[in-house]
């Protein structure tokens, strides 16, 4: 039996174990890991700062190695290799024999030789132990910086933000992520990050790290300084090749173990993979090429020499501090004749660039910032040399084959050799084989049989599209069910509940479901019940969302916020005074929201009914800020006060908000009414927006802000108020009936067959003949409206639910506050 010794137990070392064992049970596998725990996920290391534990990040627990007959030595460093005797020696004095040795030693953080780098408060960002040191030190400081504006540097910056520090990023190059994006993209990304509270310093050559014992600041070559108390160095990586050098294996002049296309070193019994290896003068610093190397070495060891390593596409898509970033193919085309096409919206933080060949036939590469929804298909177009559409610009500005949500058409045209999952190197042909020949009918099934979608997860949309198209081509009816407990879609369950008059989750489960339900179907059914019957949400025994359960948004520190409805943003002085009085009485933090309301933060759960009682007495109602329901109708002052206004936008906004208040939907709803084309209420960023004209109103639908902003589409022009309301009734009820759970109107429209044109036919032309029915259903919901706060105030049984302890009326004494600009705010969890 061959004895395989693997030095290094990072992600790539673990993948080699997995690949080896899947190919043969007849090899003996021994792994030496320098760190004190089994392999963990470095790609998602920053999640450690936002709640993930070390165990959450494990690739597999220690028991997995035992179950797969793999010997794992953790906390043990290999310090010597005897190539003649084919043995290794560890720092603990252990000797071990090998038939094949694989060096998966990875890389270490590059620390530049700067005066003062040894000071207290200077850290690297590489291991969980590094992260523990950073967390411990951060509790003593307020200002931190990251040296390095690359991928890892920006991840480290997110960590400092999560720790509640004033955060700076210092980059030597004139732009962020200099290897992946261009100057224009860097400008957009820097602007986006600055909005998140990160200060960016570009083109800064750090001369010294200053302080008296501990870190106090940075001095730059241009004479400027930056006062900070903590520094995380993330200026690049260096391959761990010291073991290879000591045993006279060939290494690259700039570091890294030289390997051939079989990943062999100059010793035929020793391989190197991952970030420790250099192939064709290149270190591959992503996990996907490391996994590919692991697969090739596993094949070599088990006798399959057909597959070789010939380099790897370094295209990548990731989310940095909540910002989508993607680069694919040749993002710059500095040495390739090409024509760049660029779309840029700095205000919304979106930048898209594609490089097309001079003859206009092929896509060569590109960059996506802020919206990388088109990444998968654009990457495939480059990799498979797919022909461009007649107007290539539509690929990034809409109506093109790569438009977000329309990837199905693109994946259909890919060749079988197209790589769909780069992490596991799974091709379209392999996935299709699993569906057509092995009977796989779900994405979960494909995950288990191929491991696609189990790495970074970026390929999941393409895999889902491929599954749907392949099943349809086989004559299968592809049915989207809510979950494993209901063999129905949300739309079908809507009809079943309404037609059969089902009023409870348990009754629905007994009649049309199976099992006990789950966290997917319970809230979805609760939403359906609320949308159809408009009964009190608190009386649904399966409601799971804590916000709905307590009719308020839970906030940091375990307190709740109270947001009364202020229709159209209009409020009388008397009601304004009442809010001030009540907020002062209960010592609540107050803030005017983006939707023209006043939010009161810091209420304990047991205080909520008392606060609501006083608000109700002053004429206020629940603002439903906690529900998947209508939130606000924003308005400008319109013709009442503004010299540009052409219609009374405030009155119409109040009418609209009063009409739809409490309306439950698949997701939250926001609207706005602007009194003229100057659009001060920002109606075109709302789920439905109304803009005044000289002749009436223009109605826009299906816009939204958030992580992926989308302008609303113009549905009708110059309609009177009555007609406008009729169309909104139909639009909202059709959305409520047909949208999937937790789907905003913008996403719903993107996926709607026929798009805006079809929606226009349904709403305006009544092409389905259901217009009157939709209007009557809306009237029924309006007629059954109730203020949920008032119901709790008046019902002792409901009111009794609002206490911290089941067996006591005492308040929670663990809630702590600090002062912020004269108001209270919760103590930062990370600082406690």
Q: From the annotation, which residues make up the binding site for [4Fe-4S] cluster? A: 636, 642, 676, 680
Three-state secondary-structure class, residue 336: coil
Tell me if 379 sits within 8 A of 459, measured CB to CB.
no
What residues contact residue 362 under an 8 Å CB cut-off, 6+ apart? 356, 382, 385, 387, 388
CA distance 212 to 603: 45
The gap from C-alpha 715 to its chain's centroid, in whole angstroms, comes to: 31
CA distance 509 to 488: 12
User: Phi/psi zone of residue 602: left (φ > 0), alpha (ψ -120 to 50 degrees), beta?
Assistant: left
The gap from C-alpha 521 to its chain's centroid, in whole angstroms, comes to: 22
Measuring CA to CA, how many Å separate 180 from each of 49, 176, 372, 692, 736? Answer: 25, 9, 14, 45, 42
CA distance 477 to 97: 57
Strand 166-171, strand 426-427: pairing: unpaired
Residues in the chain: 832
Tell me if 401 sits within 8 A of 363, measured CB to CB.
no
Exposed e or buried b for every residue in 653-676, given b needs 16+ CB within 10 A?
bbbbbebbbbbbbbbbbbbbbbbb
| Both structure tokens of 198 | 């990160």
DSSP string, 49-114: GGT--HHHHBSS-HHHHHHTTEEEE-S--EEEEETTTTEEEETTS-EEE-SEEEE---EEE-----
| Both structure tokens of 677 | 């084309």
Tell me if 537 sits within 8 A of 548, measured CB to CB.
yes
Quote the DSSP letter at residue 572: -
Measuring CA to CA, how many Å separate 342 from each of 327, 351, 366, 376, 707? Answer: 14, 7, 9, 18, 21
Strand order in 87-90's β-sheet?
78-82, 87-90, 95-97
CA distance 673 to 651: 9
CA distance 378 to 371: 13
- Annotated binding residues for siroheme: 680
Quote the DSSP letter at residue 280: T
| Both structure tokens of 265 | 């070193």
The CB-based long-range contact list for 173-180 (8 Å cut-off, 24+ gap) reads 173/149, 173/202, 173/203, 174/202, 174/203, 175/149, 175/202, 176/149, 176/150, 176/200, 176/202, 177/149, 177/150, 177/151, 177/325, 178/149, 178/150, 179/150, 180/151, 180/316, 180/325, 180/327, 180/331, 180/367
Tell me if 481 sits within 8 A of 524, measured CB to CB.
no
Strand 277-278, strand 257-258: pairing: parallel
DSSP E strands: which ranges in 135-255? 143-147, 166-171, 198-202, 206-210, 217-220, 225-227, 230-233, 237-239
Signed CA dihedral, 786, 788, 792, 797: sign only: positive
Containing 379, the helix (H) or strand (E) segment is: helix 375-383
- Annotated binding residues: 636, 642, 676, 680
For tokens 């793999």, name the residue.
70
Query: To 10 degrees, the CA torsion angle through 499, 501, 507, 512?
Result: 0
């Amino acid at each position: 039996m061959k004895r395989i010794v693997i030095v290094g137990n990072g992600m790539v070392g673990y993948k080699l174990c997995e690949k080896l064992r899947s190919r043969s049970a007849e090899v003996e596998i021994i792994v030496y890991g320098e760190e004190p725990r089994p392999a963990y996920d470095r790609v998602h290391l920053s999640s450690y700062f936002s709640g993930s534990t070390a165990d959450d990040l494990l690739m597999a627990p220690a028991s997995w190695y035992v179950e797969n007959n793999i010997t794992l030595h953790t906390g043990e460093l290999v310090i010597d290799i005897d190539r003649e005797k084919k043995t290794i020696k560890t720092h603990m004095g252990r000797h071990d024999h090998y038939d094949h040795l694989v060096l998966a030693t990875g890389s270490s953080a590059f620390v530049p030789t700067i005066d003062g780098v040894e000071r207290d408060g200077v850290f690297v960002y590489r291991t969980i132990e590094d992260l523990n040191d950073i967390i411990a030190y951060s509790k003593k400081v307020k200002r931190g910086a990251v040296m390095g504006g690359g991928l890892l540097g920006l991840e480290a910056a997110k960590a400092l933000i999560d720790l509640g520090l004033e955060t700076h990023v210092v980059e030597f190059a004139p732009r962020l992520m200099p290897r992946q994006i261009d100057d224009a993209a860097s400008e957009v990304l820097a602007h986006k990050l600055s909005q998140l509270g990160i200060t960016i310093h570009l083109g800064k050559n750090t001369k010294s790290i200053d302080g008296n014992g501990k870190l106090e600041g940075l001095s730059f070559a241009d004479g400027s300084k930056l006062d900070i108390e903590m520094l995380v160095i993330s200026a690049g990586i260096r391959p761990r090749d010291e073991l290879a050098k000591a045993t006279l294996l060939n290494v690259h002049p700039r570091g890294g173990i030289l390997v051939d296309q079989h990943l062999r070193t100059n010793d035929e019994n020793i391989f190197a993979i991952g970030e420790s290896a250099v192939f064709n003068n290149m270190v591959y610093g992503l996990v996907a090429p490391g996994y590919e190397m692991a697969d090739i070495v596993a094949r070599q060891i088990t006798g399959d020499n057909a597959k070789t390593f010939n380099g790897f596409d370094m295209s990548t898509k990731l989310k940095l501090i909540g910002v989508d970033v993607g680069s694919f193919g040749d993002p710059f085309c500095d040495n390739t004749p090409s024509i760049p096409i660029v779309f840029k919206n700095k205000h919304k933080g979106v930048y898209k660039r594609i490089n097309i060949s001079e003859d206009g036939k092929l896509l060569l590469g590109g960059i996506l910032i802020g919206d990388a929804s088109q990444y998968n298909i654009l990457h495939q177009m480059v990799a498979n040399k797919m022909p461009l559409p007649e107007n290539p610009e539509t690929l990034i500005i809409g109506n093109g084959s790569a438009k977000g949500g329309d990837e199905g058409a693109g994946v259909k045209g890919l060749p079988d050799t197209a790589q769909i999952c780069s992490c596991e190197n799974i091709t379209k042909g392999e996935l299709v084989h699993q569906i057509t020949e092995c009977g796989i009918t779900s994405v979960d099934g494909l995950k288990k049989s191929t491991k696609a979608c189990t790495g970074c997860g970026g390929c999941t949309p393409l895999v889902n599209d491929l599954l749907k198209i392949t099943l349809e081509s086989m004559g299968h009816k592809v049915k989207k069910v809510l979950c494993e407990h209901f063999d129905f879609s949300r739309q079908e369950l809507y009809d079943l509940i309404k037609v059969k008059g089902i009023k409870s989750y348990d009754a629905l489960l007994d009649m049309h479901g199976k099992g006990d339900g789950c966290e997917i179907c319970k809230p979805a059914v609760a939403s359906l019940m609320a949308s159809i019957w408009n009964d009190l949400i608190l009386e649904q025994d399966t409601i799971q969302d804590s916000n709905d359960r307590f009719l308020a948004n839970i906030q940091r520190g375990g307190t709740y916020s109270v947001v009364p409805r202020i229709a159209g943003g209009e409020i009388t002085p008397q009601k304004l005074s009442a809010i001030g009085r009540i907020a002062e009485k209960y010592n609540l933090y107050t803030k005017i929201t983006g939707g023209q309301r006043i939010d009161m933060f810091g209420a304990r759960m047991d205080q909520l009914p008392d606060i609501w009682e006083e608000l109700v007495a002053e004429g206020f109602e629940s603002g439903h800020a906690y529900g998947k329901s209508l939130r606000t109708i924003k308005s400008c002052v319109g013709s009442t006060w503004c010299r540009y206004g052409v219609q009374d936008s405030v009155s119409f906004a109040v009418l609209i908000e009063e009409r739809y208040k409490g309306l439950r939907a698949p997701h939250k709803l926001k609207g706005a009414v602007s009194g003229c084309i100057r659009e001060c209420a920002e109606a075109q960023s709302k789920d439905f927006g109304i803009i005044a004209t000289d002749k009436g109103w223009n109605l826009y639908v299906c816009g939204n802000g958030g992580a992926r902003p989308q302008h609303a589409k113009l549905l009708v022009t110059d309609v009177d108020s009555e007609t406008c309301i009729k169309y909104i009734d139909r639009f909202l009820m059709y959305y409520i009936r047909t949208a999937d759970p937790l789907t905003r109107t913008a996403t719903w429209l993107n996926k709607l067959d026929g798009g805006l044109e079809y929606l226009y036919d349904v709403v305006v032309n009544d092409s389905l003949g259901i217009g009157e029915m939709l209007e009557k259903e809306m009237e029924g919901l309006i007629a059954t409206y109730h203020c949920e706060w008032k119901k709790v105030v008046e019902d002792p049984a409901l009111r009794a639910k609002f206490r911290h302890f089941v067996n006591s009326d005492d308040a929670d004494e663990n809630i702590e506050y600090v002062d912020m600009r004269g108001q209270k705010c919760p103590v930062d969890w990370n600082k406690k």
